[in-house]
Structure 1
């Protein structure tokens, strides 16, 4: 475990964040918004770039760190980001402006994901990032898989639950939800799934076209 912790710290230390994301991270920490790690941010940026994403949804805005990483990887994308905390959205709006993100490329929605997601168009997005309400993660991922196009990707950070996911004794609701999500998606023919242990962990689910299942 000590070796893994050292590796994670090393990866975070060598990951170079753009200055605007560094500033957003500092503000997020002041607000207690718990941003994703630099290593996970870099990973989602690579995925956004590799998929040439144009339409992205983020569940859990925080102070804009993860949204900026997504837009860093997909500079032509439009981001729709949802959060129930107006203070977090205000911080994200400031962070996007600081990073010179045009207002038309960042649509900020105040509300609970459980209320907003059912009203969004299915099969319309390239990436959905799920980083809010861990006790509802399975419901949010189900919505995410509905929203992404065929070949689209749903990204779920923090799935290692601080290491609890690997401890069979831990059976609290959040750990159980993440464990169930990982097990069910790994066994599903509808998605290609990969679990990264970089940073706080990242589950990557890419939908498979029906004719290929």
Structure 2
């Protein structure tokens, strides 16, 4: 048995035991696939982890950068209290349309707002609104801009807020300082920022599973 098959089998076991799909989650994946969206959603295990982290944080306001079909958005939205709100930013109008339908079916249509457009422009517009700080931020968009998204996340949060940055291993290429891959360079810049920023304390974790060899960074905003 190959290593990847073992990873997949373990992920399947954990998912069936601890993060089983329900109708809304299964339909979100099914409809995203039917609409031709790329199959790059977080795994069920990671979706459950995001939910638990947001609940542990006691998050009332969540910002997600990168919506896709809204699968991770559903997990995050379920962590919110009755008065909680979630804002998610999506570049592609078609993806946003699918996500809105998935969120509505999951009963989160009034909780989660999907904004369409380049995330950096949306974040700049958001800052002008002077919103209440976000308690939890999930960054899972184009990797070339990871450091910029992280900078905005710090600006839009408060001491004690939590930031999760997805897909940081890049198949192991994150260690290559000479890489010309924009996704690798953007991820390395974001990790450097976590290491150096006076308002951030964080770490990164390698993972294996249904998405192969991957990982995420976790940071807390400090005073």
TM band (smaller chain): 0.7 to 0.9
Q: 2:134 aligns with which of 107, 110, 125?
A: 125
Contact 2:77 2:112 in 1 (8 A): no
Q: Is the 8 A contact 2:146 2:189 kept in 1?
A: no
Moved more, 195-204 or 57-66: 195-204
Tell me the SS of whatever aligns to 2:160: strand
TM-score by length of 2: 0.82
Give the structure 1 partner of residue 59 of structure 2. 53
- What whole-Å deviation, never above 9, does each CA across 1:48-71 have from its counterpart, x for those lacking one? 110111111111110001111111
Structure-1 residue corresponding to 2:76: 70
What are the residue-to-residue correspondences of 1:59-138 with 2, within 5 Å? 59-76=65-82, 77-101=84-108, 103-120=109-126, 121=130, 124-138=133-147
Correspondence 1:26 to 2:30:
yes
Residue of structure 1 equivalent to 2:14: 14
Q: How does 1:64-213 map to 2 (within 5 A)?
A: 64-76=70-82, 77-101=84-108, 103-120=109-126, 121=130, 124-166=133-175, 170-198=179-207, 200-209=214-223
Residues in 2 aligned to 1:191 and 1:22: alpha-carbon distance in whole angstroms: 36
Structure 1 unmatched ranges of 5 or more:
none
| Cα separation, partners in 2 of 1:155 and 1:116, compared to 1, 3 Å | same
Instruction: Render the CA deviation track for 1:17-38: whole Å, top value 9, x for unaligned.
Output: 4411222123333423321122
Deviates more, 1:197-206 or 1:124-133: 197-206
Conserved? CA contact 1:28–1:35, under 8 Å: no
In 1, Cα distance between the equivalents of 2:43 and 2:198? 30
User: Residue 159 and residue 142 in structure 1: after superposition, are their counterparts in 2 closer, same or farther (change >3 A)?
Assistant: same
Give the superposed CA RMSD: 2.3
* Gapped regions of structure 2 (runs ≥ 5): none
C-alpha distance after superposition, 1:144-198 (max 9, x if no partner)? 1111121111111111123322456744221122123223313444212121223
Provide closer, same or farther for how the CA distance between residues 139 and 12 of structure 1 changes in structure 2, counting only shifts above 3 A. Answer: farther
